[in-house]
Amino acid sequence: MEKQPLRLSVFGLALATLISISPDTLHAQRYAAYPAGDDSASSLGQFQLIVDKAWVDILDAVLAGSVFTTTEGLPGVWIYDGGVFTSPVMFDPGTVVGRSDGFVSGSALDTNGVIAGSAPGRTYVSESQLTVKPGWPDAAGGVYEVHTFMKSLHLTDALTAHLGFSVRAGMQAPTRPVSAGEVEAYSINSDFPARSFFNIYVEVDIPAAGPLPAVQLVNVEPLLVENTLIRSFPPRAFYIHGNTNAVPVYFNRDLTLLTPSGNMTVPRGTLFGQLTLAGHGMSYGEFEIPSFETEMETELQSAMPLNANPFPSVVIQDFSPNYNAIPPPRLSQPYVSNGVFFFTVSNVTPGSTNYVQACTDLRPTSWVTVSTNVPDTNAFNFESPVVETYRQRFFRVLQVP
């Protein structure tokens, strides 16, 4: 009896959805040399924000004579000056960016999501997470891209002002959304040079000064940072704020502030101001602080325009991103020999339990476990006698930790 082609699908617990096992095959371009994993490098960063007008008079009075109005950030610019905060240059010795395998832009992997990063600290990144995009034109069909996310960012002013400024993102800010991004080739003929951007969610710590207690700020709409010339991983790149307008930032904690008029209670979610500039130098070292300051001085001349009507208060939602995503198993092309068909299940976690399930009609109630496997390695083989009564049969693999 002639058999219909064996149709296989894989079910990954981390996705909770049925997906195709046929991965996009990379053509011979350079993203293929960078399988999914992490890029780590030192980095520098700086931000400037405009305080909301409701706070200017209060902060002018509270911060008068404090370290913020007597310590210089950039040459000739105070950390706080008449409603403008300019942070010191901050340094992170180990910024980590998670990176996926390369795939064709606009493919199912782009839409459904692809795993990025190395364990511990893997997550799925899909096109839907990239809610704010650069203004550059869409790429021509067929180019390759890589999904990324800011896995670990913890910038501090420990090398400069020593005041306690910091910026955290990714796993360093565990209640904020995934800071997703992508790197996209310009041409189908070469994956590099490429362009790159991130949608960043941060926690910004402003240290106490005078009567001002320590303040933590967050953004609830993503901060877009971008660079149009990426030549390799990890990139040597200066990312700059690319939003059309400044991004509002809000108090992340309830606050009691002693003002000249008495105590003032500030609820979480109250508008503090707007980020008009955010610069981040990936693969920049501590010895490059002077040149980074020069680049930032240039950017300060063209900071983002303010949002005319920011929300005066918001309800800040805390998130719990999954940074322990399980890569979906992969099934090889099956073959039949001497009345038995075989396939290999790869990309599994050693020591995990893997249920091979089968059905003939894809109804949710039809799946039956036909094999249970706890492999010592990242792959195992499955074999089963060919059953002549089946016109077609579907298989999936359910992996649990």
313: in domain = no
pLDDT score at 14: 29
- Residue 121 in contact with residue 98, Cβ under 8 Å? yes
Same domain, 210 and 258: yes
Nearest to 202 by CA among 357, 69, 90: 90
306: in domain = no
Q: Is the pTM of this model over 0.85?
A: no
Same domain, 198 and 68: yes
28: in domain = no
- Residue 276 in contact with residue 246, Cβ under 8 Å? yes
* Domain's final residue, options 300, 320, 354: 300
96: in domain = yes
pLDDT score at 137: 84
Angle, alpha carbons 390-393-394 (nearest 5°): 170
Q: How far is CA 395 from the centre of its chain?
A: 33
Same domain, 51 and 14: no
339: in domain = yes
CATH code, 336: 2.60.40
Surface-to-core class of residue 55, CB atoms within 10 Å of its CB (0-12 exposed, 13-18 middle, 19+ buried):
middle
**Three-state DSSP string of the chain:** CCCCCCEECEEECCCCEEECCCCCCCCCCHHHHCCCEEEEEEEEEEEEEEECHHHHHHHHHHHCCCHHHCCECCCCCECEECCEEECCCEEEEEEEEEEEEEEECCCHHHHHCEEECCCCCEEEECHHHCCCCCCCCCCCCCCEEEEEEEEEEEEECCCCCCCCCEEEEECCCCCCCCCEEEEEEEECCEEEEEEEEEEECCEEEECCECCECCEEEECCCCEEEEEEEECCCCCCEEEEECCCCCEEEEECCCEEEEECCEEEEECCCEEEEEEEEEEEEECCCHHHHHHHHHHHHHHHCCCCCCCCCCCCECCCCCCCCCCECCCCCEECCCEEECCEEEEEEECCCCCCEEEEEEECCCCHHHCEEEEEECCCCCEEEEEEECCCCCCCCEEEEEEEC
* Domain's final residue, options 254, 283, 300: 300
pLDDT score at 24: 35
Give me the number of domains the chain comprises.
Answer: 2
Same domain, 380 and 295: no
* Domain's final residue, options 300, 317, 339: 300
pLDDT score at 236: 94
Same domain, 193 and 264: yes
Same domain, 11 and 54: no
Same domain, 89 and 182: yes
pLDDT score at 365: 86
Strand 368-373 relative to strand 353-359: parallel, antiparallel, unpaired?
antiparallel
322: in domain = no
320: in domain = no
Same domain, 281 and 339: no
Q: Which residue has the tokens 């053509």?
A: 27
Cα separations in angstroms, 392 against 5, 13, 344, 387: 7, 24, 19, 10
The residue count of the chain comes to 401
Which domain covers residue 366, as residue numbers?
7-23+329-400
Nearest to 399 by CA among 115, 155, 175: 115
Within the chain, which residues score under 50 in pLDDT? Answer: 1-29
Same domain, 11 and 151: no
Token pair listed for 305: 């325009």
Same domain, 219 and 341: no
Same domain, 269 and 345: no
Token pair listed for 5: 């082609």
Same domain, 251 and 103: yes
